[in-house]
Structure 1
Amino acid sequence: VVPKMVAYKLLKSAFALPDPVQVVCWEGRLEGLLGELALHALDIVLADTAIPSTVRILGHSHLLGESGVSLFASSKIATKYKKNFPTSLDGAPFLLPTSNAMLRRGMDEWFSEKGITPRVVGEFEDGATMKAFGQAGKGIFPGSTVVDKEISRQYLVRKVGDVPDVREQFYALSVERRLKHPGVLAIVDSAQKIIFRNSKLSSKPGH
């Protein structure tokens, strides 16, 4: 799952082309989107994982970049848990993605490494819903550091701390090794030069 704020930052460059293009966004499970990609019904799929080896599709995974993770909460909760971060998080109320999400797996590993046992008060498949509960003061939630200012501004929350050890990777999945569509090229170029400046673009086969 690619957070909607990250998706927007990636896609907005396609709107700035001298020759206008129409952007049509579909949301769904990766397997279904890859099926549409194989049928050439989609130009690219934005994802937080490369094409799985178990998926029978001749495609390519273009790494756009990666981001660390930050933790956010309402002002009252952030003030309480910022001090002595991250040990202060033991027993803290957390809002987390569901167990099938790459971000959740990374967070669970980090909790284990740090000896932190969070009090999970909610699990969400939709990141926007998770952030809305965080805005309402229900707990601490993770978000991409690359859009930390946007998260704080849109949801009126404060950063509790950064978790640089947990990394999110973002890919453009395509049936082409060499991308050609001008809108897709604009997205990839923007990701490499602006959004994820410290990451190098790479491509690897889907199998």
Structure 2
Amino acid sequence: MQWLNYHHLQYFYTIAKEGSIAKAAAKLNVGQPSLSTQLKQLEDSLGRPLFERSKQRLHLTEAGRIAYDYADQVFRLGSEMVEALEDRLVNNRIHVQIGALDSVPKHITKEVLVQAYGVGNCMVSVLEGSGDKLLRDLEAHKVDLLLSNYAPPVDFKTVHAKTVAKLDVVVCASAKYKNLKKNFPHSLEGQPFVFPTVHSKLRPDIDHFFNVNGIKVDCVAETQDTSLQSLLGTEGVGLIPVNEVVAEELVKEKKLITLGKMKGVYEEIWLMAASRKIENPIAAQLMKEFSLK
């Protein structure tokens, strides 16, 4: 059985990622001659060259591309192993890390936590941020689950998702706009609105609703943060289109009133996970069972 020197494999992997021995040597804090020697030892042990030189740059050979793909899996699996072990070493509880977009209602995030505690003895960390960063963190196993209001892009191939809620969207406003309930939605003509930003999955559906109904409104503010949107609505800055879960909380707290439902406009909430060799058992169970439908 031929043994593989994993130090040599790491050096090869870093050279391939950096594109040159000089850059890899600087990153690894290893001398260039030593790095070249150890790369040659790896090539000799495999019986074929992994790089070819062209215009002073290194390019992977066919064997090099195969080796790189395997090395990538090896080091990803190693990182996953460390993450999986850390999952089980926080106060003797399973550690579950949940990412949530700012635009996901806090009520839904809370429900995920509640159900996580029902699945087993765990400690939950919640990380909020932008969709792109949290998706990269999910792929890198820095978070176990991700709550989003849009499906994962096709280029995130290891990420799988399911819809956990499909929520009606309603228009809410401070009490001073209560007269707009009559003749809704045409009563909204010319009224000030605080919209989600154009990057939101919900925004095109809202714009389409107004176009189909021939209603022109005044966009006075845009924000992706539902908490800020609700605050601006409470202050009377403008009307806000929000999903029914957010609306119910605001109405219950007597901060806003509901003017009417935007027929045909829904907000879907997605729960995502990334494929792993070693699953976080709490996250895996939530992925199978969690739903607000």
TM interval, shorter chain, is 0.7 to 0.9
**Could you tell me which amino acid in structure 2 is paired with residue 7 of structure 1?**
T
The offset of 1:109, in angstroms, is 1.0
Note the 1:34-183 alignment, pairs <5 A: 34-53=135-154, 55-77=155-177, 79-154=178-253, 156-176=255-275, 181-183=281-283
Task: Give the whole-Å Cα distance in 2 for the aligned partners of 1:32 and 1:50.
Answer: 15
Q: Deviations over 1:83-125 (max 9, x none)?
A: 1000101111111111111121211111111111111111112
Identify the residue that residue 110 of structure 2 maps to in structure 1: 8
Task: Give the whole-Å Cα distance in 2 for the aligned partners of 1:147 and 1:84.
Answer: 23
Task: Give the whole-Å Cα distance in 2 for the aligned partners of 1:37 and 1:183.
Answer: 12
The offset of 1:186, in angstroms, is 3.9
Q: Deviations over 1:45-71 (max 9, x none)?
A: 111111112x34422112212111011
Task: Give the whole-Å Cα distance in 2 for the aligned partners of 1:184 and 1:140.
Answer: 39
The offset of 1:31, in angstroms, is 1.6
**Could you tell me which amino acid in structure 1 is paired with residue 115 of structure 2?**
S
Identify the residue that residue 50 of structure 2 maps to in structure 1: none
The offset of 1:184, in angstroms, is 5.3
Q: Deviations over 1:10-66 (max 9, x none)?
A: 33322334x33111111122221111111111111111111112x344221122121
TM-score normalised by L of structure 1: 0.82
Task: Give the whole-Å Cα distance in 2 for the aligned partners of 1:24 and 1:125.
Answer: 22
CA-atom RMSD, angstroms? Answer: 2.2
Task: Give the whole-Å Cα distance in 1 for the aligned partners of 2:243 and 2:112.
Answer: 13
The offset of 1:187, in angstroms, is 6.8
Task: Give the whole-Å Cα distance in 2 for the aligned partners of 1:32 and 1:8.
Answer: 21
| 1:27 counterpart = 2:143 | no
**Could you tell me which amino acid in structure 1 is paired with residue 116 of structure 2?**
A
**Could you tell me which amino acid in structure 2 is paired with residue 185 of structure 1?**
Q
Gaps of 5+ in 2: 1-102
**Could you tell me which amino acid in structure 2 is paired with residue 156 of structure 1?**
K
Which of these two proteins has the greater Rg computed from alpha carbons? 2
Task: Give the whole-Å Cα distance in 2 for the aligned partners of 1:113 and 1:160.
Answer: 19
Q: Percent identity?
A: 28
**Could you tell me which amino acid in structure 2 is paired with residue 134 of structure 1?**
G
**Could you tell me which amino acid in structure 2 is paired with residue 62 of structure 1?**
K
Gaps of 5+ in 1: 197-207
TM-score normalised by L of structure 2: 0.60
Quick one: structure 1 residues 155 and 8, their matched pair in 2 at CA, closer, same or farther if it must change by over 3 Å?
A: farther
Q: Bigger CA drift: 91-100 or 8-17?
A: 8-17
Q: Is the 8 A contact 2:171 2:242 kept in 1?
A: yes
May I ask how many residue pairs the two structures share in their alignment? 190
The offset of 1:155, in angstroms, is 6.0
Identify the residue that residue 201 of structure 1 maps to in structure 2: none
Identify the residue that residue 202 of structure 1 maps to in structure 2: none
Quick one: structure 1 residues 147 and 188, their matched pair in 2 at CA, closer, same or farther if it must change by over 3 Å?
A: farther
